Structures are given as structure tokens and as C-alpha cells.
Structure 1
């Protein structure tokens, strides 16, 4: 005999009044009986029994249940032991463990499923799991949800045409599968009877049953659950069999990549025959709607009610209003100073989140040095900088950074601090110089240990991984023409176009500034417009600002402290936030890898 059948037999043959009357002094009150509760200090009778329901409840400590529950509590035994003890009273054998396991392997009949569900429903009050997940008693009773005491599992029935046909068991023990269905059964959608309910015009479709229950608990709107976003086929079969009319469907899957992808798949399968929309998770930091309810009930209710208004109009202005206000209040809205006053003036304050900035350069004008100095300026402001080097190894990049820092330390010492890079290469630096260099290096590492991130390679794949883990990132790329896109390409122009597309996706996804170096057309070196850029089309239409970096003189200016310096002109040929044609003048000190701004009217030019 199966366990649920034994339980049913016990409850039919052992009267709860007779059984509890053995242990407590009962007093009749109307159609009920009352007594002092044995489970807490009770001076006034708060323990009541209803013979018609074969159920007891204490209004003092909240304990309640049937005759088996009483035996469990009174003798402090588990479910199996209580059933065994009561079964022996009526001459039943619970059978061996092996017999029970063999029985469980057989496919359950509908009658067995119903008996199991009804038994577990009577023990729903023995667990706090439903309350912990925000599910009220009214829904527990409506859907006959219960608690399998024997297996420490939550039981969630599946109805069809008003009748129980299956269930989902949510195991609470970590050593068991999280969800199980009756032996021989597959996943069946929850609450599909909604498709036949003409009173329900709006139908949410969720992944899990607790998500569907959450929606109903929050806004009183019954919902369907697929029992996993991968179970679309079963739902669509029922949907297309019923073919409901005058309904709007709202797909609300989990707030992750898998949920988003599955929601789009289901949307595409439904959109030609039904009114359907995908609920947007923008701004909500929770993994699913049930977690949302547990953490912020009021906000969850607002979120769901908003979906009913706006889900079918995802691109309407009203959808962006709240997000835009948050943007205005955030640090992302303000321009970020580049650390170069003239450059900030041209850009109306500096770099802005969600924009791409490109610097085109001839060879030997210090384009990588300029990018590294920009990075240092942002690091000093507390930003996290990600440098993707498609050309140089990280050792070369670090050497340039530390040589600049060493050169700056020695910049006012008339013992040449410049060209220390050459001394490192030729191993001619003195011991004192090496000690100073190592000290400078260690200080820089201490300051920016987790702020500066250097990637080597010609693909943008790893960039996503890094940016996902940072709070205030800025991306730097050196340089565009060496990068390889994820998609196949047929020409150099197409390659750069695809790379630009990937950079657009990154800047929009993370809402950050992206700064890139580009090479110039050799045939157009002397052009002072956008045509000087290699594959200029993508640069022209996709960037917020573009600058040409060109050496303005052939002869270097020598300084006893800084070495040889060249004048570099930055000509603005594209500027979404200001005028074009403006020139910025800087001095590039190659020996110490340093750019300095100089006045355009400087007579030394």
C-alpha cells in the first residue's frame, strides 16, 4: 500500500476527537471542542478542534493540523514515525522501504496524484516556505498547494479543466533535484485554464510557478507558468488548441540572459496570432519577479501595474522618462575632464558617457603615449580604465607608464631623467636610478592596483567580461585597424565597420565613454578633414568627436630636463557637442612619454 493510501486510511478510521481526547481534557463549545494547548504555556483554552474538518488549531501558538500532525508534535517524532505508530493502531503495515521505492517507480494514476496532493495540502501550515516567498494563505488554498513532510518538499498541483492532473515537487533538501514531476510525467504548464477564462483579458506568462503566484499575490492577476522557460512547446500546444481570443499576453521571464533570449523566442512564436509583449526589466536589479516581491513589495506592485500599461509600447517616450531622470542625477551625465584644458574646452567639458572618441595619428606622434596619459588623468579622478592593446604587449605598455612617472619625478633635476627607457633596454641605468625607478613603479601599482586593466589581443570578447565587474569604467583601444571583429568580413573597410559596431554595442550597453586610436590614410596625410581617417565612413557617422594628431614641426625643441620635444597639433574634424576646425596644441616629450599643453600663441612655436 502506498504512503498516501495509508494516510487516507488512518484519517478515515481514527477520529481526531477520540484520539486527542486521550491526551487532553476536552470541553465542547458549539460544534467545536476546546482545551489547554499542550504545545505552549496556556492558561485559557486556546486549542480548538473541528470534528467536521478533522482538524485542530491553537490560536495561541499557531500550531495546527490533522491527527497525524498532533501525533508528530505530541510525541516529537517525524512524519514517517507518526504514520507508522497510527497505522499499527488500526492494523495496517507501512511496508518495507524497498516496497515503497518499488511503488514509487510505477507511474502514478490520477487518483493517486489527487490523494497525494490532498494529503500534502493538509500539511501546508507546517512550513513557512510559502510565507517566506510572499505567497498568502488564500492562494495556498486556491491552488491546493501543500507540504510533503516525509520528503521535505513543497507540492504545487497542476490543474486542467478544474481537475488536478499532476504536480511539481520543489525539494527543500540540497542533495535532491530542485524540481521533480510525478514518475512518468513531463513538465506541464501551470494554470492554463486561464486561456479559457473570458473574464481574464490580461495574461502574464512566467517561467516558474512561484513567479506566477507572485504576480497574482501582488496585483490579483492570475498568471501562467511554463515550469521552465525551455518548456515552450507544451504551452504552445495548449494555446493553439484553445486559441483564446481578446487576450493580451505579457511575457515576464527571469531577469537574465537566458530569460531574455527565451522571452524573445516565445514572442516570435506567438506574435503572428496573438497580442503579445515582452515585459522589460530596465532598472530592476532582481533575478526574477518573486525575488522582487520579497525585497520590495510596493515597488514590485508598481512594476507589474506599469507592465500592464506600457509593455505593448516599449519605445514610447514615457518608458524612458524615469530612466532619464536617474541618468540626469547620476555621475554618468556629467562630462568627464580629460585632464587637458584645451581639449575639455573643445568638447564642452570633456568625455561623455555613451560616446565614442577617435584620435587619428600619423606614425611617431606619440598616439599610444597620449592614450596612456589620458588613462592616467582618469585614474586620478577615480575612474577604472580598461586598455585594450592590439599592438603592444603589456610589458611595453607598463614600461612606458613607469618611465613617464620616473621622468616626471626627475623633471626638475638637471640630470637627464629622459631616455630612461633606453637605459633599461641597454642595462646602463645605475643602481640608484633602478632603485628610484622601482620605488616609482611600486607607488603607481599601489595607487591603481585594481583601477587599471590591460588586455592584449585583437578581439573585444574579453572586454565584456572585464567591464561587467567594474563600477566606473572607461574603455581605451589602441588601435582600431588591428582589431578583428567577431563576424566574418571581406574587406578592410568592412572589418573596421564591424569593429565600430561592436564598440557602439559596448558603449551603449555599459553607458561609458570609449576612446580609440585610428591610423590615417597615407594618401590623405595632409588633409585636414575626416577623409584623412582610414575607412573614414564609420568614423564620420559613428563618433562623437574625432581629432587628427599631426607633428607641426620637423625640428625638435631640446630641453635639458625633458629631452627633445615636438609640437603636436590636434585638429578637431568631427564634434557632436561643439564646433569643428579648432586646433589644440601640445608638446610631446618622447624621452619621458609625456604630453603638455601649450598656448597656441606661444612664441616658441
Structure 2
């Protein structure tokens, strides 16, 4: 016999009054019996038995159940042992072999499924799991949610045409598969009968049953659950068979990448035939609607009512208003100083989140040095800097950073330290110099150990992973023309255009500033200042239209200025050729000291 058949036989043959009467002194009162409850310190008879329902309940401690439940609690045994003990009273025996055979049936029949669901529904009160997930007794009763005491699983029945056709088992033991379906049966969507209910005009579609039950608990509207975001095929088959009229569908999948992707897939499959919208998760830091419900029921109610009102208008102003208020109050709205006063003046304060800035550089003007110095300025302000180098290995980048730091430490000492890079390459530095250099390096690492992130390569793939784990990042790219886009390209111009598209996605997704170096078209390597405009950028189409600001870096003359403490210096002019937030044509003059990898602002050539 199946376990459910044995349980049914126990209840038919063992009267609950007779059984409990063996252990408690019962007093008849009308159609029920009363007794002192054995499960708590009861002074007045609060333990009641209803013979007509074969059910007991204590109004003092709240314990309730059938004859099996009483046997479990009174004899302090588990469900399996209680069933075995009671079965022996009526001449049935259960051994482990039989239990094993019961679990190895190839496919459960519909009768077995119904019997199992009916049995488990009687024990729903024996678990706190439903209450913990915010599911009310009324919903438990409506959907015949149950608890399999023997296997420690909750049972979620699936009904079609008013009849139980399947169920989902949610295992509560962590070492078991979380969700299971009856043996030989596949996943079936939950609550598909809603599609035939003309009164149900708004229909939410969720991944899991608990999410669907949450929506009903929150706003009183039954919802459909696919039992996994990947289980769209059967739902769509039933939907297209019924072809319901006058319904609006609201897809509310889990708040993760897989859920967002699956929601878009289902939306695309439905949008040509049905009114359908994707619910937006902005501002809700929960993995699904049930977790949201467990943390704040009032907020979930407001969230769902808002979806009913706004989901079909995702680009309406009202959808952005609250986010905008949060944005202008946040640090991301504030311009970030570049550390160069003249540059900040041209940019109205500095770099702004969600914008792309490009510096076009001719050869030998210190473009990488300038980018590294910008990074250092932002690190000092507490920002996290991600440097993608498509040209230099990280060892070369670090050497330049540490040599600059070493040079600045020795700024008032006329020593060969300002050419220390050469000494490192030729291994001619003295032991004292090396000790000083190591001290400077260790100090820098200590300050920025988890603030500076250096990537080598010509792809933006890893950038997403790094940015996902940072709080206040800024992305730097050196340089655009060496990067390879994710999509295939057929020309240099197309390659740069695709890279620009990827950078746009990054700056918008993470709402951060992105700073990039671009090479210049060789046709623009002229000394004629009249040609210094946006057209000087190689493959300038995307750069011209996609950047917030663009600057051309140009050496003013080839004759260096020498300083005993800083080595040779060159005058570098930054001409602003594109500026979304200000005027163009502004010139910024800096001195590039190649000996110590340093840029300094100057007002004119006579400053130094």
C-alpha cells in the first residue's frame, strides 16, 4: 500500500475520541469533548475534540491536528514512527522495504497525486514555513497548500479546470534539491485557470509559486507562476489556445540577470498579440517579490499598485522623477575635480557621472602619463580607478607610477632620481636608491591597494566584472584604437564605433565617468593651429557625437625647457574641441616633465 492509503485507513478505523480518551480524561460538551491539554501547563480544559471532523485543537497553546498528529506529539515520535505505530493497531505493517518501493514508482497516477495532496494539506499547520514567507491561512486553505511531515517538504498543488493535476514539492532540508515535481511529471504552470476568468483583467506572471501567492496576498489578485523563468513553452501554448481578451499581463520575474533576460524573452513572444509589460525593479534590493514581501509588506503593496499604474508607460516622466531626486542628492551628481584647475574650469567643475571624455594625443606628448596623473588625482579623493591598458603591460604602468612618486619625494634634491626609470631598466641604481624606491612603492600600495585596478587587454569584457564590485569607480582607457569590440567589424571606423557603443553601455549602466585616450589621424599631424578641431580624431564619427568633452593634446614646440630638478620639460597645449557643458576653443597650457612623469599647469611659458 502507498503511504497515503495507509494514512487513510488509519483515519477510517481509529476514532480520534477513542484514541485520545486512552490518555486524557475527556468531558463531553455538546457535540465536542474537552480535556486538560497535555502539551502546556493548562489549568482549565482548553483542549477540544470535534468527532465530526476527527480533529483536535487547543485554545490555550494553539496545537491542533488529527489522530496522527496527536500520536506524534504525545509519544514524542516523528511522523513515520507515528504512522507505523497506528498502522500496527489496525493490522497493517510498514517496513523500510515497502517504503523504498513506494519511492521508486516510475510515474505517479493522477489518483495518487490527488491523494498525496489531500493528505499533506491536513498537515499544513505543522510547519511555520508558510507563515515565515508571509502566506496567510486563507490562501493556504484556498490552494490546499500542505506539508509532508515525513519528508519535511511543503506541497504546492497545481490545479487546472478546478482539478488537482500536479504539485511542486519545496524541500526544506538544505541537502536536497530545492524544488521537485511528481515522478514522471514535468513542470506545469500554476494558476493557468486565470486565463479563462473574464473578471481577472490584470494578470501578473511570476517565476515561482510563492511569488504568485505573494501578489494575491498583497493586492488580492491571483497570479500565474511558470515554475521557473525557463518554463515558457507550456504557458504560451495554453495562452495561445485560449487567446484571452481584455487582459493586461505584467511580467514580474526575479530581480537578477537571468530574470531580466527571461522577462524580455517572454515579452517579445507576447507583445504582438497581447497587452504585456515588464515590471521594473528599480529601487527594490530584493531577489524576488516574496523576499520583498517578507521584509516590507506595505512597500510591496505600493510597489504592485504602482506597477498596475505605470508598467505600460516605462518611459513616462513620472517613472524617473523619484530616481532623479535621489540622483541630484547623491555624490554621482557632483562634478569630480580632475585635480587641474584650468581643466575643471573648462568642464564646469570636472568630470560628471555618465559621461565620456576623450583626449586626442599626438605622439610624444605624454598621453599615458597624463591619464595616470588623472588617476592619481581621483585616488586621492577616495575614488576607485579602473585602468584598461590596451598598449602597455601593467609592469610598465606601475613603474611609471612609482617613478613619478619617487621623483616627487626627491623634488628638491638634484640627483639622478628623476631619471630613475633608466636606472631600473639598466639595474644601475644604488642600494640606497633602491631602498628609497621600495619604501615609496610600499607606501603607495598601502594607500591604494584596493582602489587602483589595472587590466591588460584589448577587450572590455572583464571591465564589467570589476565595476560590479566597486562603489565609486571611474574607468580609464588607453587607448581607443587598440580595443577590439565584442561584435565583428569590417573597418577601423566600424571598430571604433562599436567600441564607443560598448563604452556608452558601461557609462550608462554604472553611471560613472569614462575617460579615454584616442590616437589622431596622421593627416592631422600638422603644426597649423587652424586644423586643431574635432576632425583631427581618427575615425571621428562616434567620438564627435558621443563624447561630453574632447581635447586635443599638442606639443607647442620641439625645444625642451630644462630644469635641474625635473629634467626636460615640454609645453603641452590642450585645446577643447567639443564640450557639451560649456564653450569650445578654450586652451589649457601645461608643462610635461618627462623625467618624472608629471604634468603641471602653467599660465604661460614664462611661469617656469
User: What TM-score do the two structures reach when normalised by structure 2?
Assistant: 0.98
Asked if 1:553 corresponds to 2:557, the answer is yes
| 3-state SS in 2 of match to 1:120 | helix
Which moves more between the two structures, 319-328 or 39-48? Answer: 39-48
Which moves more between the two structures, 170-179 or 138-147? Answer: 170-179
Summarize deviations over 1:380-438 as a string: whole Å, max 9, x none: 00000000000000000000000000000001112343111111112221111111000
Summarize deviations over 1:510-549 as a string: whole Å, max 9, x none: 0000000000111112321001110111111000000000
1:66 Cα shift?
0.6
- Taking the aligned partners of 1:369 and 1:555, their CA distance within structure 2 comes to 20
User: Is the Cα contact below 8 Å between 2:2 and 2:102 reproduced in 1?
Assistant: no
Summarize deviations over 1:183-242 as a string: whole Å, max 9, x none: 111111101111111111100010110110111111111100011111111111111222
Asked if 1:537 corresponds to 2:541, the answer is yes
- Taking the aligned partners of 1:332 and 1:77, their CA distance within structure 2 comes to 60
Summarize deviations over 1:166-198 as a string: whole Å, max 9, x none: 111111122322111111111111011111111
Partner residue, 1:519: 519
Summarize deviations over 1:6-58 as a string: whole Å, max 9, x none: 10111111111111111111222333222111111111222122222211112
User: Is the Cα contact below 8 Å between 1:416 and 1:562 reproduced in 2?
Assistant: no
1:264 Cα shift?
1.2
Which moves more between the two structures, 146-155 or 55-64? Answer: 55-64
Question: Counterparts of 1:190-339 in structure 2 under 5 Å?
Answer: 190-339=190-339
User: Is the Cα contact below 8 Å between 1:585 and 1:599 reproduced in 2?
Assistant: yes
1:108 Cα shift?
2.1
Which 5+ residue runs of structure 2 have no aligned equivalent?
A: none
Asked if 1:345 corresponds to 2:349, the answer is no
User: Is the Cα contact below 8 Å between 2:408 and 2:596 reproduced in 1?
Assistant: yes
Summarize deviations over 1:528-577 as a string: whole Å, max 9, x none: 10011101111110000000000112211111111111111100000000
- Taking the aligned partners of 1:63 and 1:363, their CA distance within structure 2 comes to 83
Aligned pair count reads: 604
- Taking the aligned partners of 1:25 and 1:104, their CA distance within structure 2 comes to 43
User: Is the Cα contact below 8 Å between 1:158 and 1:166 reproduced in 2?
Assistant: yes
Partner residue, 2:426: 426
Partner residue, 1:81: 81
- Taking the aligned partners of 2:121 and 2:58, their CA distance within structure 1 comes to 18
Partner residue, 1:360: 360
User: Is the Cα contact below 8 Å between 2:206 and 2:223 reproduced in 1?
Assistant: yes
User: Is the Cα contact below 8 Å between 1:519 and 1:534 reproduced in 2?
Assistant: yes
Question: Counterparts of 1:324-473 in structure 2 under 5 Å?
Answer: 324-473=324-473
1:95 Cα shift?
4.5
1:96 Cα shift?
4.2
| 3-state SS in 1 of match to 2:417 | coil
Partner residue, 2:601: 597
Partner residue, 2:510: 510
Summarize deviations over 1:49-85 as a string: whole Å, max 9, x none: 2222211112222211110000000001011110111
- Taking the aligned partners of 1:58 and 1:329, their CA distance within structure 2 comes to 56
Question: Counterparts of 1:119-130 in structure 2 under 5 Å?
Answer: 119-130=119-130
- Taking the aligned partners of 1:525 and 1:57, their CA distance within structure 2 comes to 92
1:243 Cα shift?
1.6
1:102 Cα shift?
4.6
- Taking the aligned partners of 1:337 and 1:571, their CA distance within structure 2 comes to 19
Give the counterpart of 2:582 among 570, 578, 581.
578
| 3-state SS in 2 of match to 1:477 | strand
| 3-state SS in 2 of match to 1:303 | helix
1:578 Cα shift?
0.5
1:477 Cα shift?
0.2
Partner residue, 1:474: 474
| 3-state SS in 1 of match to 2:107 | coil
Question: Counterparts of 1:143-182 in structure 2 under 5 Å?
Answer: 143-182=143-182
Cα root mean square deviation, aligned: 1.2
1:99 Cα shift?
5.7
| 3-state SS in 1 of match to 2:552 | strand
1:139 Cα shift?
0.6
User: Is the Cα contact below 8 Å between 1:2 and 1:100 reproduced in 2?
Assistant: no
Which 5+ residue runs of structure 1 have no aligned equivalent?
A: none
Summarize deviations over 1:306-344 as a string: whole Å, max 9, x none: 110111111111111111111111110000000000000
User: Is the Cα contact below 8 Å between 1:212 and 1:222 reproduced in 2?
Assistant: yes
Asked if 1:58 corresponds to 2:58, the answer is yes
| 3-state SS in 1 of match to 2:249 | strand
Which moves more between the two structures, 50-59 or 185-194? Answer: 50-59
Asked if 1:40 corresponds to 2:40, the answer is yes
User: Is the Cα contact below 8 Å between 1:123 and 1:146 reproduced in 2?
Assistant: yes
